[in-house]
Amino acid sequence: MDRIRIVGGNELTGRIPISGAKNAALPLMIASLLTDDTLTLENVPHLADVEQLIRILGNHGVDYSVNGRREKQQEGYARTINFTARSIVDTTAPYELVSKMRASFWVIGPLLARMGVARVSLPGGCAIGTRPVDLFIEGLQVLGAEIDIDSGYINAKAPNGRLVGNRYVFPKVSVGATHVMMMAASLAKGETVLENAAREPEIVNLADCLNAMGAKISGAGTSTITIDGVDSLSGARHAVIPDRIETGTYAMAVAMTGGDVTLENARPDLLQGALDIIAQTGAEIIPVNSGIRVKRNGAGISPVDVTTEPFPGFPTDLQAQFMGLMTMAKGKSRITETIFENRFMHVQELARLGAHITLAGQTAIVDGVTKLKGAPVMATDLRASVSLVIAGLAAEGETTVNRVYHLDRGFERLEEKLSGCGATIERISG
Ligand SMILES: CC(=O)N[C@H]1[C@@H](OP(=O)(O)OP(=O)(O)OC[C@H]2O[C@@H](n3ccc(=O)[nH]c3=O)[C@H](O)[C@@H]2O)O[C@H](CO)[C@@H](O)[C@@H]1O
Ligand SMILES: C=C(OP(=O)(O)O)C(=O)O
């Protein structure tokens, strides 16, 4: 199993290219199930989750080619991939595939909308929380779906083969359920109004793509989204937005180590709230033509309290990294997690590096220390793993991050990007 070895203490200086967003690419790829035409996606990151979803979509009949060639690997950071679901060969998403990647559950929306039936395995819980799917079930039922659960599968059927538009008020903000309801309602008969919808930039990216495919969606990015259903969708060409979580992660890495790095292709508008918080810790955040420049010289890290919230609030996907940064702040900070009930698994591992953190329910109280010391660590999820990388970059001596497959789900060429800016970091295979 691969590991990442870091020798901490170097400032970061240079340029880091920001990849396409994993959490935008996944729903966009799933949208290819809605049409028999080709959906061409630009700026697709090369990540384990993307490769896994390619396999899952293949099971339903989606063919793909990378920049015209049917291959997995390609040099360069941004890939253009064509997805074509000429026909849907299987409307079942089996447990073996859905259990490997949670977002694959989202195929339920397009399969049901296009084929009138879908049988999709329940995804189950995961390291960060129980993550139920009640909102997906309720929302699709409001569009007329008949749903029963049997042997761990959701069997969904649209009477007369087609969903029917309706009004649905999400009792809780959900990114995934908003993606699925937008895709399902795009091919439903009549108008759907979604209230208390998620407002994340990835929702807007999907809505823009669906509209390019012929859907009639307005209001994406606000809490009320209106979808006027159409009879069919066509192909389109659409670009994945830059990854705001990768952007925030590297910005925090620079805030942690000091230095001066330009995050190329990054878009400040996708994470302004988080950038404001990083600026309060003492880093300078400067929007430049090519992206965002992050600098911290001299002064130490100021403690800042944060609470995770749905967009435009501070993202839960940056909570672990921010905790990594706060471990070396000059004082106490309080970090409150409100989205997932079990997203503090990095606390114990950060403690192995010398961090002082105590938990009080959903709040972590971080008492900054003047130095961390390298150690072997491991984490049980993607963002927790990268928080250990951030801490390792500033720790004295050697840190080894195990279970690198978590990082490979969501960070493209992490060690290459950081070593290009002066970090001592390498992947050890085997
Ligand atoms: C692939 C992807 O894009 N993943 C992101 C997506 O996950 P995901 O879409 O799974 O997260 P949601 O926004 O749905 O989850 C928000 C909260 O709603 C709850 N909930 C959700 C659905 C439901 O039917 N019932 C229910 O109770 C969840 O357990 C959680 O407590 O948004 C999360 C919140 O920004 C991010 O952390 C994930 O990185
Ligand atoms: C939690 C994440 O992903 P997923 O929803 O796929 O588990 C994440 O990207 O941080």
Question: Could you write out the three-class secondary structure of 89-149?
Answer: CCCEECHHHHCCCHHHHHHHHHHHHHHCEEEEECCCCECCECCCCHHHHHHHHHCCCEEEE
**298 & 178 share domain:** no
Residue with tokens 């404001």: 276
Domain boundary among 236, 263, 295: 236
Average pLDDT over residues 367-396: 96
From the CA of 383, the nearest ligand is 2
**274 & 208 share domain:** no
* Residue 118 to residues 60, 61, 131, 136, 152, Cα–Cα distance (Å): 11, 14, 21, 13, 14
Residue 392 to residue 396: CA distance in whole angstroms: 8
CA 162 to chain centre: 30
* Residue 187 to residues 84, 230, 245, 424, Cα–Cα distance (Å): 18, 5, 31, 51
What ipTM score was computed for the predicted complex, to two decimals?
0.99
Residue 29 has pLDDT above 80, yes or no: yes
CB of 409 closer than 6 angstroms to any ligand 2 atom: no
CA 104 to chain centre: 13
**223 & 249 share domain:** no
From the CA of 409, the nearest ligand is 2
Helices (H), 281-413: 319-326, 346-352, 382-394, 405-410
CB of 382 closer than 6 angstroms to any ligand 2 atom: yes
* Residue nearest atom 1 in ligand 1 by C-alpha distance: 23
pLDDT in tens, 106-148: 999 999 999 999 999 999 778 899 999 999 999 999 999 999 9
Average pLDDT over residues 36-60: 96
Cis preceding linkage at 312, omega within 30: yes
Q: Helix crossing, 108-115 with 175-186: angle to 10°?
A: 10
**291 & 228 share domain:** no
Q: Cβ distance 366 to 337 under 8 Å?
A: no
pLDDT in tens, 149-183: 999 999 999 999 999 999 999 999 999 999 999 99
Residue with tokens 């590096």: 353
Residue 11 to residue 9: CA distance in whole angstroms: 7
Tell me, what CATH number does 201's domain have? 3.65.10.10
**99 & 217 share domain:** yes
Q: Mark the binding-site residues for phosphoenolpyruvate, compressed into ranges.
A: 22-23
Residue 76 to residue 45: CA distance in whole angstroms: 10
Per DSSP (E only), the strands in 166-267 are: 167-169, 191-195, 216-218, 224-228, 236-239, 259-264
| Residue of 342, 381, 385 best suited for mutating to test ligand 2, as the one with most atoms within 8 Å of CB | 381
Residue 347 domain boundaries: 3-19+242-428
CB of 45 closer than 6 angstroms to any ligand 1 atom: no
Count other Cβ atoms within 10 Å, centred on residue 334: 15
Residue 298 has pLDDT above 80, yes or no: no
* SS3 category, 272: helix
The torsion defined by the Cα of 267, 270, 272 and 273, in degrees rounded to 10, comes to -150
CA 266 to chain centre: 15
Q: Is 126 a catalytic residue?
A: yes
Tell which atom from ligand 2 comes closest to the C-alpha of 317.
10
**48 & 27 share domain:** yes
Q: Cβ distance 261 to 421 under 8 Å?
A: yes
- Count of structural domains within the chain: 2
Residue 20 has pLDDT above 60, yes or no: yes
Instruction: Tell me how far the alpha carbon of residue 410 lies from the centroid of ligand 2, in angstroms.
Output: 8
**338 & 260 share domain:** yes
Instruction: Dig out the tokens for 326 from the structure.
Output: 């706060």
First to last CA, the chain: 5
pLDDT in tens, 307-355: 999 999 999 999 999 999 999 999 999 999 999 999 999 999 999 999 9
Instruction: Dig out the tokens for 372 from the structure.
Output: 């961390």
Residue 128 to residue 120: CA distance in whole angstroms: 22
CB of 383 closer than 6 angstroms to any ligand 2 atom: yes
Q: Is 0.95 surpassed by the pTM of this model?
A: yes
**26 & 168 share domain:** yes
Domain boundary among 215, 236, 257: 236
| Residue of 382, 386, 407 best suited for mutating to test ligand 2, as the one with most atoms within 8 Å of CB | 382
Domain boundary among 178, 208, 236: 236
**288 & 204 share domain:** no
- With b meaning 16 or more CB within 10 Å and e meaning fewer, what string describes 373-397? ebbebbbebbbbbbbbbbbbbbbee
Residue 167 to residue 189: CA distance in whole angstroms: 13
**375 & 415 share domain:** yes
CB of 266 closer than 6 angstroms to any ligand 1 atom: no
pLDDT in tens, 170-223: 999 999 999 999 999 999 999 999 999 999 999 999 999 999 999 999 999 999
**50 & 163 share domain:** yes
Closest CA to 162 of 198, 106, 116: 116
Residue 39 to residue 33: CA distance in whole angstroms: 9
**207 & 353 share domain:** no
Active-site annotation holder among 122, 126, 147, 193: 126
| Residue of 50, 102, 130, 172 best suited for mutating to test ligand 1, as the one with most atoms within 8 Å of CB | 172
CB of 354 closer than 6 angstroms to any ligand 2 atom: no
* Residue 98 to residues 53, 276, 282, 396, Cα–Cα distance (Å): 9, 37, 42, 40
CB of 102 closer than 6 angstroms to any ligand 2 atom: yes
The torsion defined by the Cα of 43, 44, 47 and 50, in degrees rounded to 10, comes to 170
Q: Mark the binding-site residues, compressed into ranges.
A: 22-23, 102, 131-135, 172-175, 317, 339
Residue 45 to residue 67: CA distance in whole angstroms: 13
Residue with tokens 């591992």: 349
Label residue 74 by pLDDT band (50, 70, 90).
Answer: very low
Looking at the DSSP bridge assignments, the partners of residue 83 are 39, 64
